A and B are shown apart, each in its own frame.
Chain A
């Protein structure tokens, strides 16, 4: 049973047990344009919530991606190395960036749900 939440930095987090899958939202991917490269964190790295953990590049911009929740990186999405376009095609599915083992469940609960995020992006 999984639940997805969102940050005001346009990341999404899907939680299953204590395994969190993280990526950037459809809104963010559209703003960014064609993704050409993604720099992902290494397995085993421990990150705090709010830390810069990845970089996503389009032709004309490079954006930092921040860890929405803290934990230990368990897996990075290797597909993005050869097919960065996956982020544009399916940003909230196949275009996930990395998975981590959630350190503090409370952090997840402070994030926006889908309705709140939709409301948030309307104002942008």
Chain B
């Protein structure tokens, strides 16, 4: 079997009791709650019979239901509005959030989510607009999409952009499907191999397989770059594309990126760029000038649309001249009658050969409005300043920590994120996971851990431009102190961390061995009722 060294420790360590040295135990309360920290049941356990909306109770006959009227109930609980509000407010208070604290998550770009964006997205003309309303009723929305397309193409120096992908990974798929269509159009559909660095984000090889390609991994050099020589040696007449992230997942700009672009083009292939790290170079470098053919842009990263606890995202894809004809439906067209959407192949302008449709309707309009609001607020100079501050902050963190932590590529500058590994913890008995969980007790969300896979026990830190110098200094101070304590053998903080979060470490093994994925009514209780 292949030994996965990506697997972080997955058993619960034997836990220090609450009385472990330095960690005080707290007295139990009667309610089980503690001050402002409230425990909260599931809605299904809260009660039945109340209602949170007032709607008229109308009878309807069966005659128009085709015999398909529901026979039993759904089984949903019924609670009032005050109970519902309290329930979700209490749940929210168990979450960390960027509004509340720094997220040093490499690759995620957890920057501030401006509230103006939320206000703009909620203007009824955008938020309450039906996607299939007649075109004359949606000119402002189409105009907004067009303006956003202008920003995206000018920032990247690319001629075209596909707007419909619903997330970054969806954008990757869109880009690869465009490449596949382009290859087939020139009679080269036999090109099935895609070169992907071993440092790539998991979505890259997953998407390549999804789009029907085989993945060929390219190693990294000891200085954290893609091995350009190895990549160029692996090119051949069966290669469809290379997929690179630039800056890469080690936080470094690929110095030989143009050379690799030229090499894959000479070999008849395409260059897909994962745009997750665009926040390092937006407004300063145009990926189009580096020879890319397609790049998805994570609007929820670089352009501040909120992460919302996991989504929604948006992943528009900029396309080169060679791939532009294959952009998926719908296409946005502007003529003397105004804006309109081309939604079928038959209606497509001459030269357009869309490969199909990525999803229903037109894309994540709600995220477009927020992203454009961000772009208009920043302007080109603000976008450039954001990238420079992001890079400056990451380098400040790197320079301030590399003497006590181990930065495998720390001899030179990084881009917007700094990569550390776990060598500095060697012999201490403290793992990257333990270190990360101890950060939670200190009031910080952990950094990205165990990614990228090219270093052991990776810790990838991306502060973004949204942090003040005071916030960075506090963060640095805490990480330094944690590192020094680990190295001095003072491991109490790390054992069984976190101690102060709403939950201690959770048994993920149990969750995977005996999956319980929904609430079920208690049969004994039901029988009694």
Q: Please say whether chains A and B are actual partners in one complex.
A: yes
Please list the residues of chain A having a beta carbon within 8 angstroms of any beta carbon in chain B. Answer: 9-11, 24, 28, 31-34, 36-37, 56-66, 84-85, 124
- For residue B1, CB closer than 8 A to chain A, the reply is yes
Collect the chain B residues with CB atoms within 8 Å of residue A66's CB: 1
Q: Flag if A10 contacts B512 (CB, 8 Å).
A: no
Judging by beta carbons under 8 Å apart, are B512 and A32 in contact? no
Q: Is B3 close to A, CB under 8 A? A: yes
Q: Are A63 and B513 in contact (CB under 8 A)?
A: no
Q: What residue of chain A has the Cβ atom nearest to residue B5's Cβ?
A: A31
A83 (CB) vs chain B CBs: closest residue: B513
A11–B10 touching, CB < 8 Å = no
- In the complex, the chain A residue whose C-beta lies closest to that of B8 is A60
Contact surface of B with A, Cβ cutoff 8 Å: 1-11, 450, 508-509, 511-513
* Inter-chain contacts of A57 with B (CB < 8 A): 512
C-alpha gap A108/B9 in the complex (Å): 33
Q: How far is the CB of B485 from chain A (nearest CB, A)?
A: 26
B513 and A32 form a contact (CB under 8 A): no
- Given A36-B513, A84-B513, is A61 in contact with B6 using a C-beta cutoff of 8 Å? yes
Specify which chain A residues have a CB less than 8 angstroms from the CB of B11 in the assembled complex. Answer: 33-34
Cβ of B1 and Cβ of A33 under 8 Å apart? no
**B4: chain A residues within 8 A (beta carbon):** 31-32, 61-63
User: Contact between A34 and B1 (Cβ–Cβ < 8 Å)?
Assistant: no
A24 to chain B, nearest CB (A): 6
CA distance A24 to B528 in the complex (A): 48
> Which residue on A lies nearest to B6, using beta carbons?
A61
Question: Bound complex: CA of A124 vs CA of B6, how far in Å?
Answer: 15
Q: Give the interface centre of A24, A56, A60 by most chain B CB atoms within 10 Å.
A: A60
A85 to B11, CA, bound (A): 11
Chain A residues with Cβ under 8 A from B7's Cβ? 31-33, 58, 60-61
Q: Inside 8 A of B450's CB, which chain A residues have their CB?
A: 60
**Complex contacts, A32 vs chain B, CB 8 Å:** 3-4, 7
> Which of A32, A36, A59, A62 gathers most chain B CB within 10 Å?
A59
**Most chain A C-beta atoms within 10 Å of own C-beta, residue among B2, B6, B8:** B2
Q: List 8 A-B contacts (CB under 8 A).
A: A9-B1, A9-B2, A10-B1, A34-B513, A59-B508, A59-B511, A60-B7, A61-B10
Bound complex: CA of A66 vs CA of B10, how far in Å?
23
